Amino acid sequence: MERRKYKRVPQALPIRIYVGEVEQISEHRTADISEGGLFIRMKAPPQEGAIVDLEFRLGGAPAPIRARGRIVRSLLHEVIDGSPPGIGVQFTGLPRESRSRIRTVIERYSHERRSQVIELPQGFLEDVDAQIRSALEDQKPPARIDLEIRVRFPEEENFTGALAHTLGSDEIFVQSGTFWPMGTTVKLQVLVDGAKDWVFGEGAITRAVYSSGTAGTPPGPGVAVTLSPSSEELLETIASIAARAKNLAI
């Protein structure tokens, strides 16, 4: 697999894009950025190979960055690696000062991510889990649906398989050895009921989970991912399966 030359980080930035002399709708937003290029979300992307001029601001800076690039990837629909519709642009003309500004943003993002890693006392998560179990022991848990799932965390190149199941109507437990910061957005691919097609979705990590709290489910560590409203198809799929499981239990 080809490795990326530059590290990319998620950045949602308003951006103006010009193809030739024509300014496209300026309400596009980037999905990620690196020193070598960026990805722009677009519903009607231009073709690969087109030369584009770009204008965007980093971190609220008053002076915009202006760059020229070439479209190296054009996606009309979301694809298997989770990339949204849009274009991947490789910089072909980027002033040195602008490249330095982008590098600073990437380094700051990486530093902030590292600074959110917290060393927890031994046994802390087990104690919290026991308290949660005690508080919920009188409540009937929702029907659990085991999922065949692939997940992609930020800065990872590809999706990887994981043990997963539902925690509620819009929440999924994903087994993970890393406790990512709360609010981290992850991409999901779910295969349910032996279907042939994967259902795409995304969500934000809302809490760390030491264990699932249900018999027969692999213990954590893991994270609870709350699905975003944009994951409509995945939410509907889970709701449909939950309804069938409830009817079978009656």
Report the candidate in 249, 116, 228 with the shortest Cα–Cα distance to residue 172.
Answer: 228
Contacts of 239 by beta carbon, 8 Å cutoff, 6+ apart: 169
∠ CA 90-78-30, nearest 5°, is: 40
Query: Which residue from 168, 159, 151 is spatially nearest to 213, judged by alpha carbons?
Result: 168
Domain ranges of the chain: 9-115, 124-249
Q: What is the mean pLDDT of residues 199-207?
A: 87
Rounded to two decimals, what is the model's pTM? 0.48
* 215 C-beta neighbours (distance < 10 Å), count: 6
Q: Between the CA of residue 87 and those of 44, 72, 76, 99, what are the distances in Å?
A: 9, 7, 9, 20
Higher pLDDT: 212 or 33? It is 33
Task: Give the span between the Cα atoms of 204 and 223, in whole angstroms.
Answer: 10
As beta bridge partners, residue 171 has: 226
Band (pLDDT 50/70/90 cuts) for residue 137 is low
What are 11's two structure tokens? 């950045």
Indicate whether 164 pLDDT > 80: yes
With 70 as the cut, is the pLDDT of residue 187 above it? yes
CATH architecture of 124-249: Beta Barrel (2.40)
Q: Reply yes or no on whether the pLDDT at 1 is more than 80.
A: no
pLDDT at 138: 56
Give the helix/strand (H/E) hosting 15: strand 14-19
- Tell me the mean pLDDT in the region 18-30: 66
Average pLDDT over residues 180-196: 79
DSSP code, position 31: E
Residues 11-22 have a mean pLDDT of 78
| Cα separation values, 64 from 33, 172, 213, Å | 15, 40, 50
Domain 9-115 CATH superfamily: predicted glycosyltransferase like domains (2.40.10.220)
Strand bridging mode 171-175 / 185-191: unpaired
